[in-house]
């Protein structure tokens, strides 16, 4: 039976919430453990559904994976299998990050085309092109991407778009390639920096992480390591926007505020008081927020993963907001659910115009992806009565203890099982 959330509107969120390690980092770090024989230990891991899903992928490749709360230990054998299990891989997008490590370690990788969130097309052409420039041959066959190489070599690679996934797969292949690889127009996200820091602790030679040009000098061998996962800026941003939407007062810890510079600036423009600390920040507002315009862009721009929260805030703000989606073409599916809540929103191509209202009206809602699900719950907190949010397994894939954290901040929300019809 599926779970659902019952959310009562009218709460003002207040208190302290701690974020764990980033979903968008831990899965890639787990894949990077394939690069070195032995046991790699990851700490500060989020307790979300995608971590055991990635364990299934790695175990299918021959690893032993032990999950103990927020600690994950991955023991990688000398000889790996190169075919990633279709059943495990197809369930979530991040599983494609095993492509680079397997090509580097095994000279061959076969990875089922992944599934995951319904937010638009995310092709693998840049992943394939990067590997091909390093000497691999790639193809799509029988629903899988296949890469083969007798030996990878360094190359000059320029991405058409600063794709996070392509940057990660090229990085994890290049660290064991022969010679120097220079990756231009690389993704700059904090999760990329986190991956580079772990690879460097394993013995990789990398320069330029956090900039648009990363230089990787291949080494003969890497060794296992211990690494603490960077804090989840998207979860932290979710709590920040929850505070603004409910006219609350929330302190978020476990995150570097610089990783959320623009989202916090947008909240300041909306009328929030923002205080930043070394390892966290505070968002406080006791009036109706003002409307602000947003456009999603790769880091350091406004994150596409926080777009549903921006829409939710705009729906109850004073004035009209224009939100532009530049990353995923199908992310505005979320707006259809916001219309159920009575939001005044109109989609025009990759823009949505939202006229804010004092409050929303309760109804039944359906999550289509991780961030949309979280955004719907936050919006339901601004509704007049009781809202039911369905398909919440999406939320569980990205938010540890989501219901418990909301309850600790003063929300009235419970997890129940849907009735069978």
Rg (CA), the chain: 21
Does the pLDDT at position 395 exceed 60? Answer: yes
23 assigned binding-site residue: yes
Query: What is the model's pLDDT at position 264?
Result: 98
Does the pLDDT at position 28 exceed 70? Answer: yes
Angle between helices 190-201 and 164-174 (to 10 degrees): 10
How would residue 333 be classed by pLDDT, with cut points 50, 70 and 90? Answer: confident
In this prediction, residues 231-249 reach a mean pLDDT of: 98
Give percent of the chain with pLDDT exceeding 70.
94
284 assigned binding-site residue: no
327 assigned binding-site residue: yes
Contacts of 52 (CB under 8 A, 6+ apart): 67
Query: What is the model's pLDDT at position 103?
Result: 97
How would residue 328 be classed by pLDDT, with cut points 50, 70 and 90? Answer: confident
Task: Please answer whether residues 395 and 367 qualify as being in contact, where contact means their C-beta atoms are separated by less than 8 angstroms.
Answer: yes
State the pairing for strand pair 280-284/249-253. antiparallel
Does the pLDDT at position 266 exceed 50? Answer: yes
pLDDT, one tens digit per residue, over 73-127 is 999 999 999 998 666 666 666 778 999 999 999 999 999 886 544 434 457 899 9
Closest to 146 measured CA to CA, from 167, 132, 164, 161: 132
Domain count, the chain: 2
The rounded distance, in Å, linking the Cα atoms of 353 and 357 is: 13
Q: Which residue has the tokens 């990688």?
A: 76
Give the tokens for residue 122.
């995310």
Are residues 354 and 241 part of one domain? Answer: yes
The neighbour count for residue 355, using CB atoms within 10 Å, is: 15
In degrees, to the nearest 5, what angle opens at C-alpha 315 toward C-alphas 313 and 316? 75
Last residue of a domain, one of 228, 248, 266: 228
Does the pLDDT at position 223 exceed 50? Answer: yes
In this prediction, residues 394-417 reach a mean pLDDT of: 96
Give the tokens for residue 159.
């991405």
The rounded distance, in Å, linking the Cα atoms of 179 and 202 is: 18
Task: Please answer whether residues 356 and 320 qualify as being in contact, where contact means their C-beta atoms are separated by less than 8 angstroms.
Answer: yes
In this prediction, residues 162-189 reach a mean pLDDT of: 97
The rounded distance, in Å, linking the Cα atoms of 270 and 328 is: 25
Are residues 314 and 280 part of one domain? Answer: yes
Are residues 263 and 162 part of one domain? Answer: no
Last residue of a domain, one of 211, 228, 245: 228
Task: Please answer whether residues 27 and 94 qualify as being in contact, where contact means their C-beta atoms are separated by less than 8 angstroms.
Answer: yes
Are residues 311 and 215 part of one domain? Answer: no
Does the pLDDT at position 313 exceed 70? Answer: yes
The rounded distance, in Å, linking the Cα atoms of 317 and 197 is: 40
Closest to 57 measured CA to CA, from 101, 9, 122, 13: 101
Domain of residue 321 covers 3-19+232-417
Query: What is the model's pLDDT at position 356?
Result: 97
Kindly report the pTM of this predicted structure. 0.94
Query: What is the model's pLDDT at position 116?
Result: 45
Query: What is the model's pLDDT at position 118?
Result: 44
The rounded distance, in Å, linking the Cα atoms of 399 and 408 is: 15
The rounded distance, in Å, linking the Cα atoms of 206 and 217 is: 7
In this prediction, residues 275-281 reach a mean pLDDT of: 97
Are residues 317 and 288 part of one domain? Answer: yes
Give the tokens for residue 191.
């999760």
Last residue of a domain, one of 210, 228, 246: 228
E strand intervals along 125-212: 137-141, 144-148, 156-158, 180-184, 205-207
Are residues 8 and 41 part of one domain? Answer: no
- Domain CATH number, residue 302: 3.65.10.10
Catalytic annotation, residues? 117
pLDDT, one tens digit per residue, over 36-78 is 999 999 999 999 988 999 999 999 999 999 999 999 999 999 9
In this prediction, residues 310-319 reach a mean pLDDT of: 98
CA 134, chain centre distance (Å):
27
Query: What is the model's pLDDT at position 120?
Result: 42
Are residues 348 and 304 part of one domain? Answer: yes
Contacts of 158 (CB under 8 A, 6+ apart): 183, 184, 185
Are residues 179 and 163 part of one domain? Answer: yes
CA distances from 371 to 113, 178, 251, 399 (A): 22, 40, 20, 9
Q: H/E/C letters for each residue in 101-138?
A: HHHHHHCEEEEECCCCCCCCCCCCHHHHHHHHHCCCEE
Are residues 275 and 314 part of one domain? Answer: yes
Are residues 87 and 68 part of one domain? Answer: yes
220 assigned binding-site residue: no
Are residues 249 and 218 part of one domain? Answer: no
Give the tokens for residue 94.
């991040």
24 assigned binding-site residue: yes
Query: What is the model's pLDDT at position 142?
Result: 85
Are residues 256 and 185 part of one domain? Answer: no
């Amino acid at each position: 039976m599926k779970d659902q959330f019952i959310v009562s509107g009218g709460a003002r969120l207040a208190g302290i919430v701690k974020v764990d390690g980033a979903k968008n980092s831990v899965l890639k770090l787990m894949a990077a453990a394939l690069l070195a024989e032995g046991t790699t230990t990851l700490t500060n891991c989020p307790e979300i559904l995608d971590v055991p899903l990635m364990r299934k992928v790695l175990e299918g490749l021959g690893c032993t994976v032990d999950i103990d709360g927020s600690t994950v230990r991955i023991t990688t054998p000398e000889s790996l299998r190169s075919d990633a299990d279709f059943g495990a891989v197809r369930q979530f997008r991040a599983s494609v990050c095993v492509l680079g490590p397997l090509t580097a370690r095994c000279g061959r990788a076969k990875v089922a085309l992944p599934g995951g969130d319904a937010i638009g097309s995310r092709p693998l052409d840049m992943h394939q092109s990067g590997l091909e420039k390093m000497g691999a041959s790639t193809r799509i066959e029988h629903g899988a991407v296949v890469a083969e190489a007798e030996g990878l070599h360094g190359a000059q690679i320029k991405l058409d778009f600063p794709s996070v996934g392509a940057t990660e797969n090229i990085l994890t292949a290049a660290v064991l390639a022969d010679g120097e690889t220079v990756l231009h127009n690389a993704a700059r996200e904090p999760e990329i920096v986190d991956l580079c820091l772990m690879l460097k602790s394993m013995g990789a030679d990398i320069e330029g992480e956090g900039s648009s040009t990363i230089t990787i000098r291949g080494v003969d061998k890497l060794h296992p390591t211990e690494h603490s996962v960077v804090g989840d800026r998207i979860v932290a941003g979710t709590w920040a926007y929850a505070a603004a939407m409910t006219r609350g007062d929330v302190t978020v810890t476990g995150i570097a505020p610089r990783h959320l510079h623009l989202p916090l600036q947008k909240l300041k423009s909306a009328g929030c008081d923002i205080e930043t600390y070394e390892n966290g920040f505070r968002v406080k507002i006791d009036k109706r927020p003002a409307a602000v315009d947003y456009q999603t862009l790769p880091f350091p721009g406004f994150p596409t993963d926080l777009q549903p929260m921006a829409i939710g805030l705009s729906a109850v703000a004073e004035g009209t907001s224009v939100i532009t989606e530049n990353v995923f073409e199908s992310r505005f599916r979320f707006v259809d659910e916001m219309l159920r809540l009575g939001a005044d929103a109109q989609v025009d191509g990759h823009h949505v115009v939202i006229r804010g209202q004092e409050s929303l009206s309760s109804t039944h809602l359906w999550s289509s992806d991780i961030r949309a699900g979280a955004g719907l719950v936050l919006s339901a907190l601004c509704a007049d009565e009781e809202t039911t949010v369905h398909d919440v397994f999406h939320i569980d894939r990205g938010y540890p203890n989501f219901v418990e954290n909301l309850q600790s901040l003063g929300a009235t929300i419970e997890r129940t099982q849907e009735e069978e019809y």
